[in-house]
Structure 1
Amino acid sequence: MKKRVYLDYSATTPMKKEVLDEMLPFFNVQFGNPSSIHCFGRENKSAVDKARSTIAKTLNAGVDEIFFTGGGSEADNWGIKGVANALKDKGKHVITTKVEHHAVLHTCQYLEKDGFDVTYLDVDQYGMIKIDELKAAIRPDTILITIMFANNEIGTIQPIKEIGKIAKDYKITFHTDAVQAYGNVKIDVKDLGIDLMSLSAHKIYGPKGIGLLYIKKGTKIHPIIHGGAQERRRRAGTENVPAIVGFGKAAELAYENIDEHVNQLVTLRNRLINGLQEKIPYIHLNGHPTKRLPGNCNISIEFIEGEALLLMLDMVGIAGSSGSACTSGSLDPSHVLMAIGLTHEVAHGSLRLTIGDYTTEEDVDYVIEQLPPIVERLRQMSPLYEKVKGGR
């Protein structure tokens, strides 16, 4: 069997054995509905409460500030629509950025159709917002700032603490999509001034289909799912107990050794970036060189087409991506790469390789060995590359 190397951890992570072991009894042994008052229900309510408490501790949040959802996208929708509906009598202006995940961008576009005004901030060449432009965008009717913690494509980490302080100074609710940051960055919601934050379990070696919205106590927000009293009457629907239990265990494991985890990822990421830069001409690192997620390597490779590159990598057992997994079926260039100033041609030749806990030095070296000849083969088909070579 050919070697297989998974470098798409930003799309999803494999569930850890400890997480699965914790979840298994709740599928068929401890199967009660947490809302039931009998012992079967009480046992599962206790399990949900334990997971909620575990996650709250990793964030320095209150247990009553954690609300489980069906994933990160639902949490983004709830945070944005919920605040907009709760505060629309106060104002109808929202501030976000051009590099958000589509769960945020599409939700903001939905609000625009409902009469809200949305400002989409530009970013610099590294994908970073400019604080002065954020301040300049604030209006008397601004009710929400929603800016992601770390970018899912290029890995750039935004100045969240500064944004939180500005939001507090202007008495504006601040939401952040921290789906990619959680488990890779230490997050203290109180210190950072965060009012609302979206998370997802499957990015931290937990199950898919479970996320949460952190809601700071006192934040005005309306529910978007109605029909029951679950999650303290804010999010209706019978709790997904196995997934919640798995989320709690994954969070516990993620924050037990977060420093070791980050150091390991940074070492391997730098080995990968440096190795590719040494062997492949005309490549560029996308995102901030230092203020980036520890496992993120996003590069633009000139004179090639990204889809062909991914297919050829897959043929040698290497799994990567050209951007967000949520938009993998789109033929359009990444909106993130366009926002940082790349041309259509260069953006189409971009590759995202993301490292995780199960990545080894051998995996990285295998990619460094396999990618250059693939790039060279693809470039041989490019008349533009032949012209550049001839002009050396």
Structure 2
Amino acid sequence: MVQSAPTPTVDLDALRATAQAFARDEMRPVALRYDETEEYPLDVLRRAAGLGLTCYDLPAEHGGGGVESLRDRCEVIEELAWGDSPIFWVIAQGGFFAGPLLALGSEEQKRRWLPPLCSAEPPACAVAITEPEHGSDAAAIETTAARHDGGYVLNGRKTFIGNGHIADLCIVFATVEPGSRSRGITAFLVEQGDEGFVRGPRLPKMGSRCYPAAEVAFEDCFVAEDRRLGGEGEGFRGLMWVFDVARVQLAAGAVGLGRAALELAVEHAKEREAFGRPIHEFQAVSFRLADAKLKLDQARLMTRRAADLADEGQPFSTEAAMAKLAASEASVFATSAAVMTLGGAGYIRDSLAQKWYRDAKLDEIWDGTSDIMRLLIARSLFA
């Protein structure tokens, strides 16, 4: 859970240095290969787990690194996403999955499902919210959970679910009271092997290719009552908390991705010559990169502001939306600027610039589109 201060025994400088080195030496060199093959980076995930990078943000009592401060997490996230955004999200899956469990689960449920996330071979995890007909309007989900013989029977379909086709563990949000919108939404944990839990098919994506997305279905899928997280109807509260935290973390990742693109573009602009001089001496190039720097630094400050509010226990939903909006759009701008600066060299498929441009677009869509972020911010103005 987000607390008011970092755990004092955690060496944040050492953790940040570990993240930087791993991003530089293990993630960046293989980023293009995993983008081209769309292979799941299991070996990278296991090496990250060996260094504690898959669970640094999970509670120490369950085997995690115990980094409780959202501000501190964001610093680690930026460094890892600088290495490669989709590989980072593979590494970070356990923390995202743990969000609803920490927000809604009992102590017994935490003892049951958190320690495996902190192991040397963490399970593939998924959180199933989005449906074919309901994305931004999470209160309208139609997947049902009907009471039956000491548990519930789940029926429905989800789509665009990260790790959906390989998920060993899946938290699914369903309604126990169809038509009641948020009042009936309840969270359940489903495991691979549960009858009626259907994984796949995988969905081909424009970018972020090695972090797979898929459809999942629940076809008369029975789950015992001890698989329900929290009480009936408490799922929406947990979901909104998860969204707020995830948006701040996503913002930090977007800044890291944009920073990588800007650094690449700056180096190219120093070395590339045209008309007898380095191209950075042309304002058309340098001003574009200056704008990218401005947008990224603004987004980082907004991300830190939202994280600080969360750590202080203050409301931060609006600030999370602002950070997510600013960072995702700054990242798209920076990656586009990198492609333009590199020109043809940035457009061919052996260039990281074009990959990062495709990867960045996802950050404007998932965990709430830019349109929804603007809607949330506007509502805060007139509440």
Q: Same fold by TM (over 0.5)?
A: no
Q: Identify the TM-score tier after normalising by the shorter chain.
A: under 0.3
Larger Rg: 1
Question: Which gives a bigger RCO, structure 1 or 2 (Cα 8 Å, sep 6+)?
Answer: 1
TM-score computed with the length of structure 2 as normaliser: 0.25
TM-score computed with the length of structure 1 as normaliser: 0.25
